Amino acid sequence: MPSDVPRRILVVDDEPHLVRAVSMYLELQGYVVFGASSGEEALQAIRDKLPDLVILDVLMPGMDGFETLQEIRRVSNVPVIMLTARGEEEQKVRGLALGADDYVTKPFGQKELAARVQAVLRRAEQPATLPKTRIVVDEELTLDFDRGEVLVRGQPVRLTATEYRLLYHLAANPGRLMPTETLLAKVWGYEYRQEDHYVRLYISYLRQKIEPDPAHPKYILTVPGLGYKFVDYRRPAASATPSSQGSHA
């Protein structure tokens, strides 16, 4: 545990036996755990008990996990791990897009869930700010890490904490190949070194927010089969190869 104060975890699922099983295992790991059987109960528990992390099932009657997550994000930045059905890639993508921090596929092992809980909590406890610097990429894009702002054509663009960290590690290495495994380790943690889809998904989110034409990116370039690199803003734009400019994930 990263702190002497036990972390508080809310488990939200309409299956009582799953809530009990997860709670018992996590309590053995030193966490304080409480449960909720619906989205409404979860929102009330977040207001009353201020958990450090929420484990949230997607498939619940009434307010499902996606609706609950949307409501959580209106009032809290608490980390959320979604529980999704096996093979439901759409559920995973949708959950991450709505603001989930991670997901675990049912059926899952208790050790796997505990490892994900630990990794997400560790990321959440990292300093919110990265080393300060201000990068003027070109006349359209400025990365102001002094103020925690990304400006596109002079207008601030809102990034999630994960998007912000990913962009920082790319932009801090202009023109340099950043292997997918390296980005996973730096942004998500070493435990995620096999989760290539996280990088692909968040690269697509960043491109939608900062690229003039996300289908033909000029800032975040794909190196097929290896990883990504940020355009070398220290050199004239013409130095970027046409094949790199046109490649995308």
Instruction: Let me know: does 65 contact 58? Beta carbons within 8 Å.
Output: yes
Compute the average pLDDT of residues 218-247.
72
Q: Which residues pair with 85 in a beta bridge?
A: 106
User: pLDDT of 7-31, one tens digit each?
Assistant: 999 999 999 999 999 999 999 999 9
* pLDDT interval class at 236 (50, 70, 90): low
- Taking Cα atoms as reference points, which of 179, 177, 166 lies closest to residue 244? 177
Q: Which residue has the tokens 């999704």?
A: 84
- pLDDT score of 209 more than 90: yes
Q: Quick one: pLDDT at residue 248? A: 56
Instruction: Let me know: does 164 contact 205? Beta carbons within 8 Å.
Output: no
User: pLDDT of 162-182, one tens digit each?
Assistant: 898 899 999 988 888 888 988
User: What is the percent of the chain where pLDDT is above 90?
Assistant: 50
Euclidean distance between CA atoms 208 and 218, whole angstroms: 12
- pLDDT score of 161 more than 50: yes
Is 247 strand, coil or helix? coil
User: pLDDT of 40-98, one tens digit each?
Assistant: 999 999 988 889 999 999 999 999 999 999 999 887 878 999 998 876 778 888 888 88
Q: Quick one: pLDDT at residue 237? A: 52
Compute the average pLDDT of residues 201-228.
94
For the sheet containing 178-179, what is the strand order? 178-179, 227-230, 220-223
User: pLDDT of 98-143, one tens digit each?
Assistant: 888 899 998 899 999 999 999 899 877 765 455 567 889 999 999 9
- pLDDT score of 4 more than 70: no
Q: Quick one: pLDDT at residue 233? A: 86
Euclidean distance between CA atoms 234 and 231, whole angstroms: 9
- pLDDT score of 221 more than 90: yes
Domains of the chain, CATH where assigned: 8-124 (3.40.50.2300), 134-246 (1.10.10.10)
Higher pLDDT, 201 or 191: 201
Q: Quick one: pLDDT at residue 2? A: 42
Q: Which residue has the tokens 């054509």?
A: 153
- H/E segment holding residue 149: strand 149-152
Euclidean distance between CA atoms 51 and 28, whole angstroms: 18
Q: Quick one: pLDDT at residue 192? A: 79
pTM: 0.63
